[in-house]
Structure 1
Amino acid sequence: MALPKKLVPIAAGCLTAVVLLGGAGLWWVDKQKHENTDNAFVEADKVTVAPQVDGYVAEVLVGDNVRVSAGQVLVRLDAGPLKARLAQAQANAVALEAAVRGVDDKAQLEQAMIAQKAAGVRSADAQAEMAQAELARYGALASQGWISPQRAQSARAAATQANAGVAEARATLEAERRTAAALGSERAQTQATAAAARAAVQQARIDLERTEIRAPVAGVVGARAVRPGQYVRPGSALMSVVPLGEAYVVANFKETQVSRLRIGQSVTIHADAFGKQAIAGRIDSFAPATGSEFAMIPVENAVGNFTKITQRLPVKIVVDPKSPLAGALRPGLSVKVKVDVTADTGPSFAETSVAPQFARHGVSR
């Protein structure tokens, strides 16, 4: 039975009111159970690949957007100059090791010379004792007139000469001992130089190994800016490796929303790139400051025309590795997140902020 025409507007209005009330009710229920934001982006701890030695690029073994494993060789540099440097360092080290052995040989020779000079000192002492005995005997005979004064003078000269020989032998022995001591210092210096040469060999080996530039982590190659024949220097960016399996979401919630958030709460992630497919995640941590504090030019609020603006706090959300699209998220994608705030899981934002204070002051909660 058709409604009278005058009741149609009333029925339409009632239907509209019911729809609006129903929608408002659903929105209110959803608002009580969830916190939403579309100010969220996918990020990953990408690693920039850079050489540690300079040289010309001999080979580029990966292309754009290919998956690589940790330790895989990405780029090879021309190793010729570094091989020559290693050979030179090895030759220098061998020469210095030979120099150390030469000093040891000299030290052994000096020990033999010291023994020879010590024997010379003993011989000179014996000759001096004999000369002193002759001098005493001839002196007694000369005083009794049995020999001529000239013979006594000859004995005295012989004794003086023998004493001088003793002094000379002892001086020669001391000189040899000082030479042996100097060889000890020379050996220590040569050993230090040889150790530096061995270190140079080790450094040359390390530099030679670094001509093979390897992937620091597993992931996908991006921003490849290296080509064969290119000259590269240490620190120059060759490419980036993005660990897609470890991508996460940074959602910027309003400060009026974070009071209901807790670490461990489940999160539903929607990305335009995947249509209506949802990705599961959970809240991992809260940033230590709002996004404006990390800006290049922080906001200065100490002005007369201040207007309060609701700030946003970055919240890190990790993706459930069991989710089918866990490894498909690309850094830079914008996503929408919905947090189920009904779960009482880990500490809330307020608790993570004040917990260190309780620990510091010894206050138990």
Structure 2
Amino acid sequence: MASSQGATVSELENRDHPEPRNDAAPKPDPRDKTDQRDRRTHDDGDKAEARPSLRERLRQHRVLTAIGLVALVVCIAFGIVYWLNARHYETTDDAFIDARSFSVAAKVGGYVTDVDVTDNQHVEAGAVLAQIDTRDYVAARDQAQAQVEQAQANIKNVEAQIFSQDAQVQQARDQADQAAAQLQFAEQEAARAQELVQKGAGTVQQQQRTKSDLQASQANDSRAKAGVISAERQIDVLKAQQKSAEAGLAQARAQLAQAELNLSYTKITAAQAGRVVKLSGAKGTLVNAGQSLMMFVPDDIWVTANYKETQVTDMRPGQPAEIRIDAYPDHKITGKVASVQPGSGTVFSLLPAENATGNYVKVVQRVPVKIVVDRWPTDVTIGPGMSVVPKVRVR
């Protein structure tokens, strides 16, 4: 019982005062360093025997290693060449083919009697595109021609009257000379009769007769002079009529020229070489003056490239350019810079930006650059709006 109680007390003491536990690993003995080094060496040797070295692996894959080294050298060389070469060029994908396309419209109205072209057809300058009914314009031309002939006849008539009036003027002048001679004779007769009466040798009756003849001769002389003046004035009237007739002839000729011009407008021709697109006119269509019949794309086309304003620093007219068309990537086209627009594209738009209003956010602007092509390919169809990628050498 005592021993049992003693054991119990001992257990209680041990329970109340437990011995400290030492979970840490025992410190290695410095004398065991040699053994540890030997173990590591042994382990490394085992690993080296299990895994080949890098040199051995490269030796085992000589072909792959050579290919990798060659590819690395090529990539480095290509990168250097690309960097040295690419910085001399400026390129953009915001570019397209441009042209001054226009609408072909009728100058005069009428029924379309014939259309000599079809969609997308290429025509040369002066080629007939469409024909408008000419009957009304032929009649107007003939009427104007008749008016010209009538005006010419009026001029000839006035010229004949002037010629006749010249004869009448000469006749009036002759009559005036005759009247002047008769007046002179009558004055002499009257003077002699007066002298005889004063001397007593003549009669009063004779004196009165000569005086009467003198007055009649004076009246005839005045009438003859007035006839000369009237005849000469009539020539002036006829010359004024002649000028009026000549003005009428000029007007008639102008009307004839306009009629012939309107007649020529019935034949619609191409002003320059190009292609017909969006053909809307058809035979039998009634068109009015100014109504569009088709669109026309001239052969004179170029590239409009919208470069960023930071890309045009060194861009100048005359610099060479290489152009790739998206639709035909196999065709390589060369050209040169023709001009750089003096201003961004938004300034000349329908609704230009107003930076003074609202909140301002700086945006890199685009500047249109015109690039002319040395020679367009002829085996493919190229027209305005097609996307291209130009590359301009600026350095």
Find out whether 1:334 has 2:381 as its counterpart.
no
Q: Which of 349, 353, 362 is the matching residue for 1:308?
A: 362
Moved more, 39-48 or 250-259: 39-48
- Provide TM-score, normalisation by structure 2: 0.76
Relative to structure 1, the CA distance from residue 78 to residue 204 in structure 2 (aligned partners, 3 Å threshold; closer, same or farther) is: same
Report the 3-state secondary structure (helix = DSSP H, G, I; strand = E; otherwise coil) of the residue aligned with 2:94.
strand
What amino acid is the match of 2:315?
L
What amino acid is the match of 2:370?
K
Report how many residues are paired: 330
- Who is 1:297 aligned against? 351
Structure 1 unaligned regions, length at least 5: 5-13, 343-365
- Provide TM-score, normalisation by structure 1: 0.82
- Who is 2:268 aligned against? 213
Report the 3-state secondary structure (helix = DSSP H, G, I; strand = E; otherwise coil) of the residue aligned with 1:260.
coil
Give the Cα–Cα distance (whole angstroms) in 2 for the partners of residues 263 and 194 of structure 1.
56
Q: Which of 177, 188, 191 is the matching residue for 1:133?
A: 188
Give yes or no for contact 1:218–1:243 (8 Å, CA) kept in 2: yes
Structure 2 unaligned regions, length at least 5: 1-50, 55-67
Give the Cα–Cα distance (whole angstroms) in 1 for the partners of residues 326 and 126 of structure 2.
34
What amino acid is the match of 2:383?
R
Give yes or no for contact 1:279–1:325 (8 Å, CA) kept in 2: no
Report the 3-state secondary structure (helix = DSSP H, G, I; strand = E; otherwise coil) of the residue aligned with 1:225.
coil
Find out whether 1:180 has 2:256 as its counterpart.
no
Q: Which of 77, 97, 103 is the matching residue for 2:152?
A: 97
Deviation string 1:138-167 (CA, Å, 9 cap, x unpaired) is: 222233444432332122111111111100
Find out whether 1:68 has 2:136 as its counterpart.
no
Relative to structure 1, the CA distance from residue 186 to residue 263 in structure 2 (aligned partners, 3 Å threshold; closer, same or farther) is: same
Give the Cα–Cα distance (whole angstroms) in 2 for the partners of residues 327 and 249 of structure 1.
17
Give the Cα–Cα distance (whole angstroms) in 2 for the partners of residues 311 and 24 of structure 1.
30
What amino acid is the match of 1:299?
A
In the TM superposition, what is the alpha-carbon distance from 1:229 to its structure 2 partner? 2.4
Q: What are the equivalent positions in structure 2 for 1:179-328 lying under 5 Å apart?
A: 179-244=234-299, 246-303=300-357, 305-321=359-375, 324=377, 328=381
Give yes or no for contact 2:316–2:340 (8 Å, CA) kept in 1: no
In the TM superposition, what is the alpha-carbon distance from 1:263 to its structure 2 partner? 2.6
Q: Which of 8, 16, 35 is the matching residue for 2:90?
A: 35
What amino acid is the match of 2:366?
R
Relative to structure 1, the CA distance from residue 282 to residue 86 in structure 2 (aligned partners, 3 Å threshold; closer, same or farther) is: same
What amino acid is the match of 1:58?
T
What amino acid is the match of 2:384?
P
Give the Cα–Cα distance (whole angstroms) in 2 for the partners of residues 325 and 85 of structure 1.
46
Give yes or no for contact 1:320–1:326 (8 Å, CA) kept in 2: no
In the TM superposition, what is the alpha-carbon distance from 1:268 to its structure 2 partner? 2.5
Larger of the two Rg values belongs to structure: 2
Give yes or no for contact 1:279–1:326 (8 Å, CA) kept in 2: no
Give the Cα–Cα distance (whole angstroms) in 1 for the partners of residues 52 and 164 of structure 2.
131
In the TM superposition, what is the alpha-carbon distance from 1:127 to its structure 2 partner? 1.4
Report the 3-state secondary structure (helix = DSSP H, G, I; strand = E; otherwise coil) of the residue aligned with 1:274.
coil
Report the 3-state secondary structure (helix = DSSP H, G, I; strand = E; otherwise coil) of the residue aligned with 1:178.
helix
Deviation string 1:318-339 (CA, Å, 9 cap, x unpaired) is: 2221x54686322111222222
Moved more, 305-314 or 324-333: 324-333
Q: Percent identity?
A: 35
Moved more, 21-30 or 133-142: 21-30
Give the Cα–Cα distance (whole angstroms) in 2 for the partners of residues 307 and 326 of structure 1.
46
Relative to structure 1, the CA distance from residue 275 to residue 169 in structure 2 (aligned partners, 3 Å threshold; closer, same or farther) is: same
Give the Cα–Cα distance (whole angstroms) in 2 for the partners of residues 232 and 34 of structure 1.
52
Deviation string 1:60-85 (CA, Å, 9 cap, x unpaired) is: 11111111111001111111111111
Give yes or no for contact 2:280–2:293 (8 Å, CA) kept in 1: yes
Give yes or no for contact 1:270–1:335 (8 Å, CA) kept in 2: yes
